[in-house]
Amino acid sequence: ERPRVLITRRVFQDLQARLAEHFEVRDNPADAVWSGAELREQLAGCVGLMCTAGERVDVALLDAHPQLRVVSNIAVGLNNIDLRACAARDVTVTHTPDVLNETTADLGFALLLAAARKLSEAERYLRRGDWSKWAIDQFAGADVHGSTLGILGMGRIGQAIARRGALGFGMKVVYHNRSPLPAEAEQALGARWVTKDGLLAEADHLVLVLPYSPASHHIIGAAELAAMKPGATLVNIARGGIVDDAALARALEAGTIGAAGLDVFENEPALHPALLAAPNLVLTPHIGSGSMATRRAMVGLAVDNLIAALGCGPDAGRPPAPAPRPAPA
Ligand code: GLV
Ligand code: GLV
């Protein structure tokens, strides 16, 4: 009997078909969103799990399924998975880094431009039929070109955003990260490491690209928003919970900062109601990696990772894209 694997959500059929060459595949063609209890039930007898950022792989799930050997996340972020609990049970965790860097950086820039130039607000105004006359300061926003771009979290996506800003828009780039980039990388990007306080003070537009962890929870809250420039733009394409959504809504309402663009939210898919009422805010439903080519690349990689990590098929010798090791206690 072939080993059994579970795919939690509907993916691309032609890519999923590669799994069927090695495994008995249990899937979710209706694309229902399973509760924790439903996921626990569906995982019965499965040695492999291919899931999205929407499913939690926690101690309760792992303890209910000691037969589980591999979790293949169709995402780069791993905050939905208890990495320490997986490591303790010898469960291999893989993810889909790199293939989504440029696509996610594109969305970061799209949100930056849209927020700074009030595109959503202007379009809503037009669609309401409110445009009766042109005015000199109508929807007048902030310039992106030639301004200072701040990046918090200078991984590969952060660097892709830095390149867009420096090369395409003539921006000065400052960033904060636990460890500064090597000098040659800084030079190539035209980017300068600054403290977090320096970043908040200097950035005209601040893009957040750091993974969620207890250490990054509400790393942008009321105090940080107050430390930003009054006209500044904040963009979050990383994870909900990095920003205090309620504090951001208040800051937009009060004019503490100029504008914001959010692709991720604290309790998504639910939105903090204050965000829906806040001015100068552009919202997208977690579509950072959402080009068709990149979503297919992510699923293809997650399929390859699952096959390789379970030691099946022609990919058996290829090491899966490794997940970061769990942080020390
Ligand atoms: C998406 O948010 C991802 O982590 O890939
Ligand atoms: C990943 O490469 C990141 O920038 O977090």
Q: pLDDT digits over 265-322, tens only?
A: 999 999 999 999 999 999 999 999 999 999 999 999 999 999 999 987 655 556 666 6
Structure confidence by residue, pLDDT tens digits, 192-229: 999 999 999 999 999 999 999 999 999 999 999 999 99
Domain boundaries, the chain: 4-99+292-309, 101-283
ipTM score of the complex?
A: 0.57
Radius of gyration of the chain (CA): 21
Nearest residue by C-alpha to atom 4 in ligand 2: 155
What CATH code is assigned to 4-99+292-309?
Answer: 3.40.50.720
Cβ count within 10 A of residue 321: 19
Cβ count within 10 A of residue 13: 9
Cβ-Cβ contacts under 8 Å for 49 (sequence gap 6 or more): 5, 6, 8, 43, 57, 68, 70, 71, 72
Establish whether domains 4-99+292-309 and 101-283 are of one fold: yes
Say if ligand 1 is within 6 A of residue 76 CB. Answer: yes
Residues whose beta carbon lies within 6 Å of some atom of ligand 2:
76, 97, 153, 155-158, 209, 211
CATH top-level class of 101-283:
alpha beta
Average pLDDT of span 39-59: 98
Strands 46-51 and 4-7: parallel
Which atom of ligand 1 lies at the shortest distance from residue 95's CA? 5
- Nearest Cα neighbor of 66 from 95, 38, 43 is 43
Q: Predicted confidence band at 327 (pLDDT cuts at 50, 70, 90)?
A: very low
Model confidence, pTM: 0.93
pLDDT of residue 73: 97
Which of 52, 76, 301 is the best mutation target for the ligand 1 pocket, counting ligand atoms within 8 Å of the beta carbon and taking the most?
Answer: 76
List of E strands, the chain: 4-7, 24-26, 46-51, 70-73, 92-94, 148-152, 172-176, 191-193, 205-208, 233-236, 259-262, 281-283
